[in-house]
Chain A
Amino acid sequence: MSQTKFRLGDLEALQGEQLPDLHDEARRLLTICNACRYCEGYCGVFPAMMRQKTFADADLDYIANLCHGCNGCYYACQYAPPHPFAMNLPKTFARLRRQTYRDFTWPGPFAGLFHNNGAVVSVALAAAIALVLALVHHFQPTDVIHGNHAGNFYVVVPHAVMAWSFGLVFLYAVVVMLVGFLRFRKHIGSEGGAGIAGATHDAAVMKYMGGGGVRGNSDGCNYPAESFSLQRRAFHQMTFWGFWLCFAATSLGTVYHYAFGWLAPYSYTSLPVLLGTAGGIGLLVGPLGLMYLKHQVDPAIMDARQKGMDTGFLMLLFLTSLTGLALLIWRDTTLMGMLLSVHLGVVLALFVTLPYGKMVHAIYRYAALIRNRRESARATVGTD
């Protein structure tokens, strides 16, 4: 057999070791995937891929953020390592998402906070609790801090101080995430209103997180390892809805306060407390479950450098709920002042790190879901 002439440089780029540039590596993988397509039944990534023949960097950023890390495609891949094609979409996409979080945050220099994010979160937590405790001790006499105020938090921290300081920090977090969302949406070309309703539905029901299935049934993810499981989806839904219930409780309390002049503490059977308690339970069980699964995860599919970021955020959510529920339970005792200070410290750390941690996965995924909805509404190109 004679040696043929067409031994191109890009041949080596298609098989063998992973490429140093993440976009190049993702392009290499999707070029192989697009010639195979066995995984089209798994999630939105593959139909999105099949709508294109070539992939610009922005397309890759979009598809990476459409990936939920269910790992179905990794365990089903005949080209996964040690095969020389060395296919690993979940890990490559996870790394690309981490790069997205850095590239689109605001202000730019803060992108460094995504490095060693676990350490960032830990320091923020310690500093925030110390700050709140110091301020409370500075402004309040000891007998007030350790007094029994029948659940009236505002004796220890006046309502206006609490509302304004936390309102402003939260507003900052929202602005940063909004900037990131708008930048990324422009980057991947999903501006405008089309697809928003569909994407909101997909996000709310976690459409793709079940790994797809016949008749829309969820078969589950290959997480934390090869066998199919719906645990991750369940824990994620608890976390997701727990977060929104707590958000709703706080918002409702604000409406009660300013619109109706109904002042806290609210009774255990009041709507804000019921919402907050339900959400709090979700934020205890959900993050704990997710951390437990993460602890067992197959190293083959994990972006190890993201573990600190993931765990840091989950830990903050868990602690926010834990300290909040403790405050609720013991609000009529002399422990209230200290419990309130610690809870506010945790919440402060959560808010401050919100736009520079795992929370942002939601906004980039949402932008990707919008583009996905818009594209899937159009006819697909190519043949089979």
Chain B
Amino acid sequence: MSELPEQTDVLVVGGGNAAMAAALTARMQGVSVLVLEAAPKDFRGGNTRHVRNIRYAHDAATDFVTGPYPVDEYLDDLLRVTAGNTDKDLARMMIESSQNAADWMQAQGIWFQPPLSGTIGLGRTNAFFKGGGKAVLNSYYATAERMGIDCRYEAEVTDLAIEDGAFTHARVHFNGQDHTVRARAIVIASGGFQANIEWLKDGWGEAAEGFLVRGTGYNKGRVLRVLMDAGAETAAAPDQCHAIAIDARSPKFDGGIATRVDCVIYSIMVNRKAERFYDEGEDIWPKRYAIWGRLIGRQEDQIAYGIVDAKVNELFMPSMYPPLKACTIGELAEKLDLDPAALEKTVADYNAACRLGDNADKQFVAGELDGLATEGLSPAKSNWAQKIDTPPYYGYPLKTGITFTYMGVRVDREARVQFKSKDGRVRAAANIFAAGEVMSGNILGQGYAGGVGMALGLVFGRVAGEGAARHVAN
């Protein structure tokens, strides 16, 4: 298995959910498939290794979802979170095609689990993978091996030969050498460019230096750049991405899910100047989870600090890194390297604006919008605003953890990449398909709803695999 084949029917670039969905679908049509994954085997699969669930449309409850999630409701949710920044035609097609997602994945040997306590309120809309994303990848690769798909690791595609929107061969760095692999069709499922800090600066400027990357360091967007240089149309702005608040002490790469901190809605969030900067209690946590990475990314040093007291510290999932702990706000500020006087003033102003006790109707209710809002404070805290007055006090240092970038190549309903030709007209490439995060900008112009990434990887992966195999057959 050491030599790279020089020729294949369908070449798949990438090794995550979208890549494997494409590879398996193409192979089912009887064509030969070569999968080139840039990462080593232990870190294969891009962000799929860190996922937990897929959001898919379904008519009824099953063993692993608690109720129906109709296509229209899914589309409404997507339009709301993206504020309409989506290709509605593609979005509807994706959602409609997602309806058999769970059945198809199960047929590939992927296990789901019943909704349990850790399913963050998504038990109806999302199906949860038993064991998470790495278990998904193990099943995908085991099935691929059984079906005779050739999968290579540490095989990095460095260039593509594209003439008038048609692909002929790829340059691949493998085993210390550069190879040429010819194929009749290619599926690009190589992910975003979130591990490419220099590229992130296009959208974020120097702030990108302060980002932590939640997935592995292999998602550099190299093939995306090749496609763009060859004239591929793009979708979504370069600063658009999925990013959450993760512990500032997390590793630079691949901290995954465990480094996230869920303190925000019960805390006050302050920046380097110990000042609040956004409404922490705007909505329930699953609906605000994915905005805080971007919010923190716009603060000085891309860092913020969640401040809570003993009353609420047990109300959210335990963090991997222990919070800093102190008996007074001033002492906590010193431990967090903040100006004690400034933090004391921020907490005092906030406490003075809390109204719990003034009105017998208002109660603090964990997990539900309780309407317990501050008065006369800017920015306001709209829910769960109760005083920070019960020591010990805890501080969670948080930074921007970027999951994936949205800017990618524009595709059509058949997942074919759109190129601008010399005459200035935009045409679909004959044999170049894209799926997953490398084309997520078509669906995600901004915002996010949990589990959409897996749906778009799976649906467009299958469409791309099908189209590539059809092209080979013709």
Contacts and interface: CB of A to CB of B under 8 A. Distances in A.
Task: Decide if A and B are genuine partners.
Answer: yes
B251 A84 contact: yes
Interface in A11-42: 11, 14-15, 31-32, 34-42
Nearest to A380: B117
25 contacts: A1-B301, A11-B249, A11-B321, A32-B258, A32-B320, A35-B258, A35-B260, A35-B317, A38-B257, A40-B113, A41-B128, A47-B116, A50-B118, A76-B134, A78-B50, A78-B254, A78-B256, A79-B256, A212-B113, A213-B130, A215-B63, A226-B142, A382-B314, A382-B318, A383-B367
A40 B116 contact: yes
Given A15-B251, A79-B258, A39 B131 contact: yes
Given A41-B114, A384-B117, A384-B317, A6 B336 contact: yes
Interface of B: 42-43, 49-50, 52, 63-64, 111-114, 116-121, 128-135, 138, 142, 209-210, 248-249, 251, 254, 256-260, 301-303, 314-322, 324, 335-337, 366-367, 397
A227 interface: yes
**6 tightest Cβ-Cβ pairs between the two chains A and B:** A76-B131, A41-B113, A38-B132, A5-B337, A76-B135, A35-B320
A296 interface: no
A2 B249 contact: no
Contacts of A384: 117-121, 317
B118 A75 contact: no
Given A10-B322, A382-B314, A214 B258 contact: no
Interface string A358-378: 000000000000000000000
B113 to A, nearest CB: 3
Contacts of B63: 214-215
A219 B209 CA distance: 44
A7 interface: yes
A158 interface: no
A40 B117 contact: yes
Given A32-B320, A226-B142, 6 more contacts: A4-B303, A41-B128, A79-B258, A83-B43, A214-B64, A219-B130
A382 to B, nearest CB: 7
A85 B129 CA distance: 22
A85 B42 CA distance: 13
Contacts of B258: 32, 35-36, 79, 85
B143 to A, nearest CB: 11
Interface in A42-85: 42, 47, 50, 53, 72-73, 75-80, 82-85
Given A31-B320, A50-B118, A79-B256, A38 B52 contact: yes
A4 B397 contact: yes
Q: Among the interface residues A4, A381, A383, which one has the most CB atoms of the partner chain B within 10 A?
A: A383
A383 B366 contact: yes
A4 to B, nearest CB: 6
Best-surrounded residue of B315, B321, B324 (most CB of chain A within 10 A): B321
Contacts, number: 141
Given A5-B335, A76-B135, A50 B303 contact: no
Nearest to B303: A4
Contacts of A213: 111, 130
A47 B114 CA distance: 14
Q: Chain A CB within 10 Å — which of B52, B135, B256, B397 has the most?
A: B135
B318 A34 contact: yes
A1 B113 contact: no
Q: How large is the interface on A (under 10, 10 to 19, 20 to 34, 35 or more residues)?
A: 35 or more
A208 B320 CA distance: 26
B142 A41 contact: no
A41 B260 CA distance: 21
A77 B336 CA distance: 32
B318 A214 contact: no
Contacts of B134: 75-78
Contacts of A37: 118, 317
A383 B111 contact: no
Interface in A80-137: 80, 82-85
A84 B256 CA distance: 12
A121 to B, nearest CB: 36
Nearest to A3: B337
A214 B110 CA distance: 12
B111 A219 contact: yes
B70 to A, nearest CB: 23
A226 B337 contact: no
A73 B117 contact: no
Given A35-B317, A75-B134, A75-B135, A6 B337 contact: yes
Given A6-B335, A384-B118, A53 B138 contact: no
B132 A6 contact: no
Contacts of B142: 226-227
Contacts of A80: 42
A91 to B, nearest CB: 17
Contacts of A50: 117-118
B314 A53 contact: yes
A36 B337 contact: no
B209 to A, nearest CB: 6
A4 B248 contact: yes
Contacts of A75: 131, 134-135, 138
Interface string A244-268: 0000000000000000000000000
A332 B317 CA distance: 69
B131 A38 contact: yes
